[in-house]
Structure 1
Amino acid sequence: MNTAASSTQPTTGWFKSSFSNPSQACVEVRFSDRAVYVRDSKDCGEGPVISVSGNAWSTLLAEVAGRLPVGTSGTIRIVHRTDGGADLQSLPARSLTLSYTAAEWDAFVAGVRAGEFDLPHSAQPAA
């Protein structure tokens, strides 16, 4: 499972939780046939992107939804802040951090629990 920071971002296919306020910044996700990309919409498409494999993404979603303990993933670390926000850090070197406000994180968690960020069939990891 690799986590990589990317300087070149796909320009289409990004989406956010339906629980996000339309004018609010949020966790944005994009699926491809090789990876799942995560960014912060506050960066207006100019900021860093974390990319992970489909297997790593499934583990992260299970952590976000509370089905696995935080810290299970070896590719992205979730850091819950005292203000209710959260940071996503690429591992192992924590070379990249995406920071979200409490409202942004809450909308993402609600979307995860509603299945909005589950891998599409075309991007499912091979068994």
Structure 2
Amino acid sequence: MDARTPRKSPFQQTPAFPVLVAQSVVTLAVALVLWMVQGLTAGYSGLLGGLVALIPNCYFAYRVYRYSGARSARAIVGEFYSGEAGKLILTAVLFIAVWLVVEPLVVAAVFGGYLAVLATGASALLIVRGFPKH
């Protein structure tokens, strides 16, 4: 391995992994609760809203955390900017796809699922603190 080659990092050992797991659990929980309380349409609407937030976050985390170490700093910064741009574009595309393709849809449930996953990501510092170090 060349001294300038960025080191690859196992994804399960990154700080993003437990956050993405928590966001996945929240996505499924919101969908299940909405389905049980308001019916099938609300359930899949909440699931889609959660996925609209979760999928771009997975993309971003993969891009940013695929390298590690001090030698990788330049690569990490570059991946951060391109990952964030990709995340924003992917979020917009997924929202548009949901609005155009899925019918019927409960709009409040879509946004509820989306916001629940975003809130989980916003509390990432609390989640990552409990993540065991290897």
Does TM, scored on the shorter chain, surpass 0.5? no
Structure of greater relative contact order (alpha carbons < 8 Å, 6+ residues apart): 2
Q: Which structure has the bigger radius of gyration? A: 2
TM-score normalised by the chain length of structure 1: 0.30
Higher normalized helix content (fraction of residues): 2
When normalised by structure 2's length, the TM-score is 0.29
